[in-house]
Amino acid sequence: MVRRPKAHSRLAVLLLMGSASFDRPAQAADVPAQMAIASDAPAPFRPVFVRLGATGAFFDQGLGGASIAGQPVIGGGLKTGPVVTAAAEAGYFFTRQIAVSISGGWPPKLAEKGTGVLAPFGTLARERVGAITTTAHYHFDYGRLHPYLGGGLAYAVVFHNAPGAIAQPVLRDGVGGAVVGGVDVDLDDRWSLFVDIKDAWVAQRMSGLAAPVPGGPAVLPLKTRLHSDIVLVTGGIGYRF
């Protein structure tokens, strides 16, 4: 004799099949939600960064306490034209907002020309000078945009002196303060583009031999202090480790 399945057994099978069919759409619906949660997760924290770019340097300079053979020079100054050079920066993020960095560039050649009563002397001296800045900065977070502000120290390093109207010129290294502002634009969690503006104030001592008149022999001792307000505008690409 063939036994027929009991009614309650058939009902149990139908209930199990129905619950399985309802579970599949629910699991499928959970996938987009999980993907959305993953996409909202913050980018990995990469504290070390390097940046490479090009810097334009703009100078506003003045003389302090200038004297020739012990006599003060009144109404004289100098100016240095803008230059462009390669620049690099390396830094570290202590948090996602607070970082420190050191930056510098290939030392460009500078030529200081006289102004005022020193204008007839033409180019006073030439140097190869590099600027190094060490700054701390706070970074704001606006999605892919990260503006920042900060400050620190600036150091002018003189690698070479060459004569102009001043013979045997010696421009010494100098130190001062600096402020910085800029913005990073994220390309992904590692690469970015940036624009950085630094304003540095540096004081340096300068000495040499000056001529009493333009074109004359440079035999009179010259001493002065060179005060420079230097604006450094840098743009380039960055990478975080």
Check residue 92 and give its pLDDT.
98
Check residue 40 and give its pLDDT.
55
Q: What is the CA radius of gyration of the chain?
A: 33
pLDDT bin (cut points 50, 70, 90) of residue 51 is very high
User: 178: closest CA among 195, 154, 157, 196?
Assistant: 154
Average pLDDT, the chain: 87
- Which residues are 181's β-sheet partners? 149, 197
Element (H, E) at 18: helix 7-39
For residue 195, pLDDT beyond 80: yes
For residue 213, pLDDT beyond 90: no
Give the tens place of pLDDT for each residue, 179-192: 999 999 999 999 99
Name the token pair of 40. 């909202």
Check residue 29 and give its pLDDT.
47
Name the token pair of 174. 């100098």
Q: What is the DSSP letter of 214?
A: T
Report percent pLDDT > 70 for the chain: 83
User: 63: closest CA among 209, 171, 186, 225?
Assistant: 225
